[in-house]
Amino acid sequence: MKAATISPGLYNRRFPVGAEPATGGVYFRVWAPQAKRVELLISAGDSSQSEELEPEAQGYFSGFVPGCAAGDLYLFRLDGREQLLPDPGSRFQPEGPFGPSMIVDASQFEWHDAQWNGVGLANQVIYEMHIGTFTLEGTWQAASRQLPELSKLGVTVLEMMPVNDFCGSFGWGYDGVNFFAPTRLYGAPDDLRGFVDEAHRAGLAVILDVVYNHAGPTGNFLKDFSKDYFTNRYENEWGEAINFDGPNSAPVREFFLTNARYWISEFHFDGLRLDATQALFDGSEKHILGELVETARQAAAPKSIIVIGENEPQNSKLMRPAEEQGYGLDGLWNDSITDNTTAGKRSAAAPQRWGLSPRLLSTICRITIKLLIAVAAGGSSV
């Protein structure tokens, strides 16, 4: 059976990819330029159905399926192959990266932060948080109960380490594979929304660490949909480089720009921390970094947000405004203190040379809060 087609005038998607609930059903859209046929398999309880999506320009396939709703599970089949694949734009993977995608209706969440006005970098105290280790439970709900204590400590901004889903039961988050799906390890998507909502209630801003320089090696099915997600034209120490400027790169750029917009608009994050920006390779006239910053700010408007970049060379161009041929970031992350301290811990002579006891130095090394040097704006970090 073929899914119903919807003209752009009848339904305006919030985002170009993924499953979006609409009146009477769900609208699906996926980019699979090498495929000739894309089949959608949907399961709801004990029932299941199969629908064929309609091809569009530029390799997209889409369709509206009446009767589908939030909570239903689905997978894609490309060109009749046996393997079933999760949606690259999946909003939730309840069984992990190898399982089916779940339809999520973000509009069902009731926000209470209408009076929140956003945040700037000046005079902030930024606390880096790993949800999986912050509490014994390792969930967003458990972490939200500790927010008042962080506020009493003097923290003003939380930097949440990457949360998009990855393989395994524990990880830092830097090898994520489901870019739009908050990991099932910490709870449901609405639990993440609830955490941000409670943080704003406690007077705390929340920025999200995102990784756009590579994808994790396991559970990554992007290349099954298009080999053009990646490129071998650049050397990247973290994995295959993302194709931001090669053949067929326009939908790839759209995918990651959409991802930045998604976290800001659907989860009310107060900004982004861009991981390893030196590995975002782009020879385009407009660099992807500049577009990411611009897109994130537009998604948050009229509220202000913070965009920070990790950049090992500490290239000041990232912080210059666009009118000065820069990318417009608010600050650069500097790992020098934590990296040097960790290196010193490996040397038996280091504690004595620095006048520190081995126990104290070891404690310092285990602290997961890093130093943010806000080169331009005078922020601080605990």
Catalytic positions are 275, 310
Reference 158, options 22, 269, 44, 250; nearest CA is 269
Q: Which residues contact 7 (CB under 8 A, 6 or more apart)?
A: none
User: Residue type at 202?
Assistant: A
In angstroms, the CA 162 to CA 91 distance is 15
- Dihedral sign, CA of 5, 11, 15, 21? negative
DSSP-derived letter for residue 53 is: P
Answer whether 54's CB lies under 8 Å from 127's CB. Answer: no
Q: Do 127 and 369 contact (CB within 8 A), yes or no?
A: yes
222's tokens: 């992007």
DSSP H or E segment with residue 263: helix 250-267
128 forms beta bridges with 159
Q: Which residues touch 352 (CB under 8 Å, ≥6 apart)? A: none
Task: Give the residue among 184, 191, 25 at the shortest CA–CA distance from 106.
Answer: 191
